[in-house]
Amino acid sequence: MKYVALLALVSLAGGCQAVNADASAEGLIREMGLSEVAQTLASTSQADCLVAPVQDTIEWRAQSVLACLGFAGPAETVLQRWQNHPVYGRLRDPGAPLWLQERAADLRDFEALLGAAMVAGLSTGYNIVPQALWPEFDAESTVIYSHSDWQHARQLVALLALHGLTPEVTPLVKQSKFVARQEWGNAERDLPTLSNGQRVIDQLEFELFFRFDSPRQVEKFGELVTQYAKRDSQDEVGLIHGAWWQPFYRTFAPFPQLNRLVVMLVSYRGFRVNLLSLPEQAPERLLKLRALSDEWQITPYDIWVNPAFYRFQMGDYR
């Protein structure tokens, strides 16, 4: 599966360097927004770039994070490099994309149809992006990870680097709306409701396109997400910032522990939306979706998703 490329892929490999002992590594990590990443390290952690000797202190963890990410030198230099880094520097909130305003009328029409699909039980949510912005990627080696918090994105990429994974990464902003599970807890703001009374989360999010070198790296990525980016209880510790009850990532080839879903790719006036379905429900949903509008085109294909997100499709909350 290939798509038109408009976003450049960048590499996050940096190598390990010595940490400037004159600076407070813990203070630097805090300013960089990586404190939770440092807390994932322990004296038993396995990584070639950990600072020796192991001290199992906050400062040792912070020094090891800096070393593994390849940041060294005076604090001002480290922070400047962090802000301007070719990977981490791109994982920052760019604000609302121009296409939200420039194509507002088309978006309203599209979302009216998509809202009707949600009310009819044909989808638990959707993500809208302009077709022209969808990047090219290699289906065999790419994982797409979705989230809404850019600090989480930076921490996730840093976490991968701590564990020896340095994939190419491409971010893409999207407009999202999906059903809110009551068990997730109270939202920080009032949520809109559909005509059937369902609460929905409506927000800007992003996709991170990770390109890995091998299937084993993809599997290791999933293990790290499950251990450090998935919440199992309200008071759980040892997670990176912004861990979700049901994180969402998908591949385009089958992997152990992943579950198959069917994507119904909806194209409408230059926009694209992925509506997801359990395989056994897909044929009926396709018929009903096509009956909602003769203006959109729908193309189904298979993806494989992490277990927590698969459970979301089944109606569970974690």
Torsion, Cα 145 148 151 157, to 10 degrees, reads 0
Cα 271 → chain centroid? 20
Cα gap 44→126, rounded to integer Å: 41
DSSP secondary structure code for residue 184 in this structure = G
Question: Which three-class secondary structure state does DSSP give residue 90?
Answer: helix
Residue recorded with tokens 């359990």: 278
What's this model's pTM, rounded to 2 decimal places? 0.89
Please provide the DSSP assignment of 22-43 as one string. TS-HHHHHHHHT-HHHHHT--T
Cα 31 → chain centroid? 23
pLDDT of residue 20: 46
pLDDT of residue 23: 58
Residue recorded with tokens 């390109």: 211
Neighbours of 20 (CB within 10 A): 18
pLDDT of residue 15: 40
Q: Which sequence spans correspond to the domains of the chain?
A: 12-90
DSSP secondary structure code for residue 230 in this structure = B
Which parts of the chain have pLDDT scores under 70? Answer: 1-23, 317
Q: Which amino acid is at 299?
A: T
pLDDT of residue 11: 40
pLDDT of residue 44: 81
Cα gap 249→146, rounded to integer Å: 6
Report phi then psi at 59, rounded to 5.
-65, -40
Cα gap 229→223, rounded to integer Å: 10
Cα gap 150→94, rounded to integer Å: 10
Q: Could you tell me which residues are beta bridge partners of residue 302?
A: 262
